[in-house]
Structure 1
Amino acid sequence: METIQPTQIFYHPGAVTREERRALLRQSGGTLWFTGLSGSGKSTLAVALEQVLIQRGHAAYVLDGDNIRFGLNAGPKILMESRGYSEEQARRFGLGFSAADREENIRRIGEVARLFADAGVFALTSFISPYRKDRDAVRRIHEQNKGGPLPFIEIYVSTPLSWCEERDPKGLYQQARAAVAAGRGMGFTGIDDPYEPPLHPELTYDASRQSVEEGVAMILNYLHERGLLDPGGSSGSRLTV
């Protein structure tokens, strides 16, 4: 059977320019990559920002780490039970939480976020994304976009581990601590698997010191200062929410 070779695949630019999309949406779009420990407040901040952007007439969409695991990056069990995959297919395409699967998880969502950004929408991605090389790879995906470089804004949610453990909304830290005490590895970020903080994030937010409203205002001001949002009625002034 003949197969298509990589040299037979070509990039096809659309007829709509980025400037035309900007004129329609009043924004350039881009990816805002929220990274930090489990329970650090990534999703809370991303959801609040999405709501404010939508209320102000801007296009934005949250890509949440948990939600993505129900479809695009689902594990083998979900693929078999909900998508009709065979066991072999589920093992091949499903993603767990090994280092290799986490890398593929971030690669896939990075490509999806790039498509949103290329369409002029703000993709707000909330993922632990613990490994620096994976986040840097997503940044390169945006920088090397075929239609031209796209904004990639890394937001380090630096909330300390002690605060995240005390909050522990899913009970995962307690479970991980118990597993470690019993001599079983769980591979949970911050407990028995490392989190590698960004070296040069565009923005840093600490939920133990800053309110959600302060975090949203900080990001909105940054987007305006970068020229990624048209000023509209704000006349470009610094914003509060």
Structure 2
Amino acid sequence: MTISQAPAVPTSAASAPARRIRRLSEREVVDRDALDALLDGELVGHLAAVVDGAPIVVPMGYARVGDHVLVHGSTGGGFALRAAAAGATVAFAVTALDGLVFARSLFDSSMNYRSAVVYGVLEEVDPAEADAALLALSERLMPGRPAEVRPMTRKEIAATRVLRLRLDDVVMKARAAGASEEPDDGEDHAVWAGVVPLGRAWGEPQASALTPQGAPLPDSVAALRTATDRPPRLP
């Protein structure tokens, strides 16, 4: 999938996204770098599918590896694995809230955000590649942690299945603007309007009850607290 900030028009049918934004279509984003930045900057997505006739939505950690989103589930009958086995089409949604937009009316107030929904059929990663896939997931969520802890046991790997969803059918939408206003819009401009950006930061690490007092903070945890390489917010 190739993707350019709309309103740019894809140059060919082969490069056009499979689905398009209909309402506020000018907010559609068709830039693959922007999609990767969103997926790489967030940690939780929501997987939705219809299983046994009922809609199910489950939040879960994920990792983008190349042209796929990786998720994992239990071999004991997790809904994602059942959806994959049934060949059902699923949707995987990721959203980043970048700020609140305070306009001079509640009707015009809004949010600045980036969101993407990936559609497709989940594929189970070959068991021979499961170890590497689980490590990739762990490195994405807790960079550096796999090197600090014991290796996964064969039993643990056998109890877990990694599923992937290809980034072929994706719709992305974003708002990155201030409050709607015009010099002659008739509003009272003495009323404050603008954007309150939303930032995030990791808190103070809290040791578990069985961790000895004074145990050194691992590099993976220290790196989270000092990380400055998160993808930049859109202006």
Give the TM-score, by structure 2 length.
Answer: 0.28
- Give the strand-richer structure, 1 or 2: 2
Which one has a bigger Cα radius of gyration?
2
- Give the helix-richer structure, 1 or 2: 1
Give the TM-score, by structure 1 length.
Answer: 0.28
Higher RCO (C-alpha 8 Å, min separation 6) = 1
